[in-house]
Structure 1
Amino acid sequence: MTDRLITHLRHVDLAVPDLARQRDFFTGAWGLTTEHTDSGIAFLAAEGSPEQYVIRLRQANDKRIDLISFGADTPSDVDSLAERLATSGVQLVSEPGSLHTPGGGYGFRFFDNEGRTIEISADVAVRQHRKIEAGESVPVRLSHVVINSADPEGTRAFYEKHLGFRLSDILMHPRMGEMMWFMRINSWHHSLAIARCPHPALHHVSFEMRGLDEYMRGTGRLLRAGVEKIWGPGRHLAGNNTFSYFLDPHGNTMEYTTELELIDEDTWHPHLYDFSDPEVSDQWGTANAMNEFVARRSFNDPDKGLFVAPPV
C-alpha cells in the first residue's frame, strides 16, 4: 500500500446550471458563508473550518462534480504523489504548480479510475475561522463525501493503492451483496465512502455540526424552510454519526451530521454490517424507513464531467 501522503478532505467543487439559486441555498438555509466570488464562481466557507472554502460552485450548462480536493502536508509530498501516480499510469490533468484559487498553495490534479477530477494541495493559507458557539446550527467543517460508482471494487482499490486510503467498514445486503465502503485518510472513521450505483455520480456531501443540539436545530430549520428531506434524522451504526439528508436545488444530496467516530487506526478492524437490520441504518429508529425510493434519490444524475477536467 502506498505511504499515506494526503492528510484530509479540503473541499468539493460542483458545477450547476443555476449558480445564484444554489449559492442562495448554501448561504441561506444551509449556513455556509460566501468568502470569495468571481465571474461565474462562488467559494463558500464553513465558519468553524480553517479551509478557505469547503464548497466551490461554478455556473455551467451541465450539473457535475468539478473536483474533489484533498490536502497534503508539504509541497514535496505533492511532488512525490504526482510522480507516483504518473509512474503508475494515472492520467494527470495538471502538473504540480502554484494554485490560483483562494489561499493559493501548491498542487496538481488527476483523473481517478472512473474519471473524476481529484486535486491534491499543500501550503494553502489558513482561513481566519472561529469557534462555533452553543446553539449555532451552522456547519463547523466539511465531514466527508460519498461517491456513486459503477465499479466500486475498482474504485476502492484505486484509492487504497494510489492515495493510501484504508477501509473502515462495509455495508452489505443478503440479496445485493456489498454495497458501500467507508474509507479513511486519518483517524476520522471516513472522509470518503463509495456506494455501488449503476453510474458514477455524487451520492452526498456531509457537513459536521457542533453537537447534537445544533444538528437538530439545523435539521429543524431546513424542515421549516421547506427543503426536501430524503432521510433522517437518525444515527448510523457505521461511523456512529447522526444523519439528516436533504436535496439541494439541483437534486444533489447534502447531509448534516455530528459525532462522526474517531478511531484508533492501529487497532481498528473493519466490520461487515448487514443493513437489512434496521439498527444498522439507524440505531435510534427515528428516521423514515430506508427503502428503494429513498436509496434512488441519492443515485443522482449520471456525472457529465468524467474524464473532462473543469475549466477552472
Structure 2
Amino acid sequence: MNYFKLKKESLKNWFSNYSLKDWRFWYKAIFVLIMTIVVLYSYIQAFVSSSNNVAELNKLINNNQEQTWTIQSILQYGIDNNSNWISTTKNGVTSIKGVIVFTTTTDGVLKASYQPFEQLVYMSSFFTLISNLLILIWMYVALLKPYNEGKKGILNNRGALIFTTYITITFLLYNIILRATVSMVDNNFISHLINEMFHTVAPIAFVGYVIFGIKRETKDLLSFKDLKLTWLYGISGLIGYGVYAIIRGLIMVAGGTPGSSQLAFPYPFLQITEKAVKMGNIELPGIVLFLIFVVVIASICIGFTSLYRVIMLKIINVKLKKKGE
C-alpha cells in the first residue's frame, strides 16, 4: 500500500512541474511519442522485412529444387524479377538486402537465414540512428525532469549542446551530401516518412527546443571555458563512434564482407579499406575520403557548437533587457 502511495505522490510531484497551458510539456510529450513510434517501427520493420525476405528466398529454392541454386543465380533471379530482397545503390551496385546468409544443408540444398542480433548491431552502427536515439533519451529525461534542463546531468547546457551538434551533423551530412549521392529509400510513403523524421524533422525540432525552449537566465552556464570542454567532449564522442564503426567494419571485411558494402561500413567515407570510393561524381581513395570527412565533421562540431552558444547568449541578453537588468 505504501508503495502505491509513494508512486501516486511521485506522479503528483512530477505533474506539478507543468501546466496544461505550458507549450513545453506538449512539445516534449508529442516529440517523445512520435519519435518512440518512429524508432520502434524502424527496428520492427527491419526485422519483419528480413524475415519475409528469408521466407521468400527459401520458398523460391524449395519450389524449384530441380534447379541448382547458387548465390549468383539467386541474385540474378532477383534482378530479373525485381524481387523485394534485391537492393541497388545509386552507384549501381546490386546485392541481396539485409544481413541474409546462405548455408548448404546436408543434402546439398541452399538455405537462406538471418541473425536478428546481427541486424540489431548493423542498424545501430549508423550515426543517424545513434544521434536520434540520443535526442530521444534527452527528451525523455527533459519530460520527466524539466527543472534540470540546462542545469544537471545530460540536460545541462554542455550535454544539450553536444546532442544538438550531433543531430545537426546528421541533418547536414544527409541533406547536403548523402541524400544526393548514396541514399536509397524504399519507394513507399512510410519509408520516406521515417527517413525524413530521422534526417530532417527530428533534428530541426530538437535544435529548436534546445535553443528556444530551455529557460536560461545566466551567462555563467555558457562560459567560453565550458564551450572548450564541450568541443572536447563532443569530438571525443565522434572519435569513439568512428573507432567503433571502423573496427566493426574491419572485422566484417576480415570475415569476407566486401569493404564497399554497407554491411561492413555504414557510410562510404568510412570505407578506409577501399582503393576507390565513389560518392556521386566524386571518386577518391577510401582513406583520403575518410580524412576529408574527419575535417568536415570536426568543423561542423566546433562551428555549430559555437554558433548555438552565440544564439543562446543573445536570447539570454534579450530576456535580461526585457527585465531591465
TM-score range, shorter chain: under 0.3
User: Which structure has the higher relative contact order (CA within 8 Å, separation 6+)?
Assistant: 1
Q: TM-score, normalized by length of structure 1?
A: 0.24
Q: TM-score, normalized by length of structure 2?
A: 0.24
Normalized per residue, which structure has more helix? Answer: 2
